[in-house]
Structure 1
Amino acid sequence: MQCIWTLSLLQLVALWANAAVVTENGLPILWDQAPSQLSELPQADNVVTINPWNYLQRMSLYRILVGSTDKYMASMGTNETDSLFWGLPLQMGWKLRSGRLVDPTGATTCGEEGAPMCISANSWWACVNYYLSVIPFLAAVQKDVIGDGLIQVQVQAPAEAAEDYCTSYTDCSTKYPDLMAKWEEFFQTLKDVSASEISDFEKRDQILGVYWAGQQLSLNTASTSCKAKMSFYSSPEVSFAKSWMNSADYVAATYFQSNLNNSVLFMSPLPSRVLQEGDSAPNIADLSKEENHTLYIFGWMTRMNRILMGSLVRMWCSAMCSDKAREKGRELLQDLVHDPNKSV
């Protein structure tokens, strides 16, 4: 009863709207151009070398991951777009389209005209995404979800700031043992639970729980490892970035099923460009009403949580204290997304 009461109270702080385009032909940006098999990537002596500083190759990590895990995702739904991994490539496509993978220092033209597929190692957004792309991919290879144990993967270091990034399973496990272990736990759970005799509802709940635990630990790790790169951005962009990170707490607590359709609804109101000094939502002239509103709400929720010393997030997480409560939380978030005018 306490869970439902708290959930009802927290309806007062949530509001979502639709705005920006985050797909291309119904899929993440340039999805069809990204390699879909390990065999399509550079290989020598059973070692595949991936360049995550090229957008298409980093997107290929997601495309291969989605294809390799589909057989374990039956409990999520019967469509090819029901995998819980779709939210991640959608996020990366939004970062590309909005200019957040560009070199924020201006020292190079990485990500700009002439080098549009370049991902800058100086980008805070690209750095955070590294922990949500390369790390899970290496864990999937290690657990034989990708490659069937017959191949090794090496990750190419960037031309600059190479010391900020790990480049192999061994390297990443040494630098981030807890994070790698968490993602390995997820892939082992995915295989074990998908083959069990429990109901699809129970399978979904268990798989999503471990998945979001991995996502949250990736974000927490990235928040420390990538922190210095925030200095390259304007104060409004830094505030938005922090609010974007904080919003994951609310979504993760519901074990949100991040399939393609659900994720598009949550991605579409994000700002379509990097914020600059002087930008102040909800009055940014060249952003849509929906984008302005989302920025304002994100900022307000972050400020309120800070004023309340973290109790707003704690209340929400406390409300998600059972299978049924999490289900209602997911329904609430989806209802709010489908009805932009709903603010209760």
Structure 2
Amino acid sequence: MLLLSSLFCALAGYVSAFSAETSSLTDLYPPLWKESPGTLSDYTVKDGVYTIDPWLYTERMGMYKILITFTAQYFERFAPNNEANILWGLPVQHGWQHKTGRLADPTNMTKCGWESGNPMCISVENWWGCLNYFLNVLPFFGAVEAGVLEVSSNQVKLLPPPKDQMLFCYSVATCRSTFPDAMTKWTTLFQQIKEPSKSLDDLLKYLWDAHVATLGATRNIFEKRRLYFSQSESDFEESFSIAVDYVAAVLFETTLKNTNKFQKALPPRLLKPDDYPLHIKDFTDSQNRVLFLLNLLRKIHNGSGHTFLSLFRNLMKFKTLRKMANTLMELII
């Protein structure tokens, strides 16, 4: 019971303790949302082929913006103004990474991503930026495969990073051949989004299955990039990655408002070597608490040999228990 209570405390941070409502949904949009491309025609096009540079923040954000725009019609039945679109979690998370300096070159060998150099650049040396690449590209290509974006699979290509090009995929065909399971899950999600009979819970299950499959297929590829960060930030990266599996099990609603509440409880900057959870002076109480609980969840998870996750997943298969878990999280908050 102590372990389960600790897990619920950690998950509570993902909902966050903020009750004030923002008057305008546009205030919740990620940084530079307005400046990011909103249609494929905003990108470079030649002979009917659109070329996108996903190593520039606004161009990667534009891919999310296109997904949000093209799927808006399917989420109107859940809430007005596209607020209930469960794809919002992806761009809002990407915006947090950019705002907190988690896309910049952690080796300091280049000015990529830093305000003093090229702030729109996403470093290929960055753990956050590399994992986010696949949580951007695979959903986008999944939407292409599902026919949501109304272009053929050979009409979109991506530019490679300046190094380690073989670690990435750049087209629907290459991403499907390299990451077949994750691609199938993203394509299935977009096919299901178009089905009017599907509930929000149904769609959340498809979304989280695809999200977890993507991290499962890619996180080990970039494990060494965590060495470029402080031990505190590296621990947080691992904790964050592990927590996704638990958040997925409770089918957290990645709507615009929910995701923004979650973001407020996350570290607002890169962690320094002398940052100790519960004692970081420029963090809010919530941010300190959530960081502490996420690190605790990591220790419980690793200490159990990952059996704790299996137990939790089995429990969360029951809708009643998922509701109880969410209610408990709200009560803890």
Asked if Structure 1 and Structure 2 have the same fold, meaning a TM-score greater than 0.5 normalized by the shorter chain, the answer is yes
- In structure 1, the residue matched to 2:266 is 270
Relative to structure 1, the CA distance from residue 76 to residue 331 in structure 2 (aligned partners, 3 Å threshold; closer, same or farther) is farther
Q: How many residues align?
A: 322
CA distances 1:76-96 after superposition (whole Å, capped 9, x unpaired): 323321100111111111111
Question: Cα RMSD over matched residues?
Answer: 2.3
In structure 2, the partner of 1:315 is 311
Q: 2:96 aligns with which of 77, 94, 97?
A: 94
Give the AA of the match of 2:86: L
TM-superposed deviation, 1:309: 2.8
Alignment of 1:1-344 (within 5 A): 11=8, 14-16=11-13, 17-18=16-17, 25-112=27-114, 113-149=116-152, 152-191=155-194, 193-194=195-196, 196=197, 203-333=199-329, 335=330, 342=332
Runs of 4+ in 1 over 6 A off after TM superposition: 6-9
SS state of the match for residue 156, structure 2?
Answer: strand
Per-residue Cα deviation, 1:47-104 (whole angstroms, up to 9, x for no partner): 1001001100000011000011112224432332110011111111111111110001
The change in CA–CA distance for 1:173 and 1:12 in structure 2 (over 3 A counts) is closer
Task: In structure 2, give the amino acid aligned to 1:170.
Answer: A
- In the aligned structure 2, how far is the partner of 1:255 from the partner of 1:188? 19
> Taking structure 1 as reference, are residues 128 and 44 closer, same or farther at Cα in structure 2, changes over 3 Å only?
same
For 1:199, the equivalent position in structure 2 comes to none
**Which digits, 9 at most, give the CA deviation of each residue in 1:131-180, with x for residues without a partner?**
11011101111221113438611001011222221111111112112211
Aligned-pair identity in percent equals 32
Unaligned runs of 5+ in 1: 1-5, 197-201, 337-341
For the residue of structure 1 that corresponds to 2:112, the secondary structure is: coil
Calculate the TM-score normalised by the size of structure 2.
0.89
Conserved? CA contact 1:179–1:214, under 8 Å = yes
5+ long unaligned stretches in structure 2: 19-24
1:122 partner SS: coil
Change (3 A) 1:35 1:278: same
CA distance change for structure 1 residues 164 and 274 in 2, over 3 Å: closer, same or farther? same
